[in-house]
């Protein structure tokens, strides 16, 4: 009998690009992307809320588009650029959307904020100057159990201002 490759029980490795860095993670292809981000990469910005794609707490960007990582298998993110809340800025240098939520103190428990910030960020990346109605429409499927909607809308509008101010500073004079 000829020799054969040693069977291995180790899960296959999947290569992900997250916040600009490449990571080989040991995960079965159907594992939810959220679990890999939180458990393997220790990126705890995205939150586990419903686990059903309904609340938005787990939102990340995949190729710049908002996506609910609790219902996306990790294989679907392979070869694509994943951005989490941690990829938008740092504690010392928050990104403009993060800064807007800080400025407006738009949180009570804060559990929904990852989804709110990532959803606003995704919209501003494709439309830097959305109307208030467009912001409302984009956020309508993100749930906030604390009723912080007024402050969250103020933060979304402030994010538009901060992004515009940043773009003006960056533009050549
Ligand atoms: S945890 Fe993913 S949508 Fe609720
Ligand atoms: S601030 Fe608590 S769920 Fe939104």
Does residue 50 line the site of ligand 1, with CB under 6 A? yes
Burial string for 45-79 (b: 16+ CB within 10 Å, else e) reads: bbbbbeeeeebbbbbbbbeeebbbbbbbbbeebee
Quickly tell me which residue has 């409302």 as its tokens.
136
Q: Which ligand is nearest to the CA of 55?
A: 1
Residue 117: pLDDT band by 50, 70, 90 thresholds?
very high
Does residue 55 line the site of ligand 1, with CB under 6 A? yes
> Please, what is the average pLDDT of the chain?
93
Question: Which residues form the pocket of ligand 2, taking CB atoms under 6 Å from any ligand atom?
Answer: 107-112, 144-146, 148
Ligand 1 centre distance from Cα of residue 173 (Å): 44
Q: Which ligand is nearest to the CA of 141?
A: 1
Residues 6+ away with beta carbon under 8 Å from 69: 32, 33, 34, 37, 46, 58, 59, 60
Q: Which ligand is nearest to the CA of 56?
A: 1
Give this prediction's pTM: 0.92
Burial class of residue 160 (count of CB atoms within 10 Å of its CB; 0-12, 13-18, 19+)? buried
Quickly tell me which residue has 């109307």 as its tokens.
131
Return d(Cα 33, Cα 78) in angstroms, integer.
10
Backbone angles phi and psi of 4, in degrees to 5: -130, 165
Does residue 58 line the site of ligand 1, with CB under 6 A? yes
pLDDT digits (tens, 9 = 90+) for 44-70: 999 999 999 999 999 999 999 999 999
Q: In the predicted model, is pLDDT for residue 1 greater than 60?
A: no
Task: Return the closest-CA partner of residue 97 out of 42, 62, 44, 135.
Answer: 135
């Amino acid at each position: 009998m000829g020799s054969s490759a040693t069977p291995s029980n180790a899960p296959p490795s999947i290569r992900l690009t997250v916040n600009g860095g490449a990571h080989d993670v040991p995960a079965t292809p159907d594992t939810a992307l959220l679990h890999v981000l939180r458990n393997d990469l220790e990126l705890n910005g995205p939150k586990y809320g419903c686990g059903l794609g309904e609340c938005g707490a787990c939102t990340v960007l995949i190729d710049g588009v908002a996506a609910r990582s609790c219902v996306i298998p990790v294989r679907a993110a392979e070869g694509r650029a994943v951005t989490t809340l941690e990829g938008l800025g740092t504690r010392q240098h928050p990104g403009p959307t993060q800064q807007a939520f800080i400025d407006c103190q738009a949180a009570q428990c804060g559990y929904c904020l990852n989804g709110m910030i990532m959803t606003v960020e995704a919209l501003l990346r494709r439309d830097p100057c959305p109307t208030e109605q467009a912001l409302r429409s984009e956020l309508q499927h993100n749930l906030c159990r604390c009723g912080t909607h007024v402050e969250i809308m103020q933060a979304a509008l402030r994010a538009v201002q901060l992004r515009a101010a940043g773009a003006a500073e960056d533009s050549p004079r």
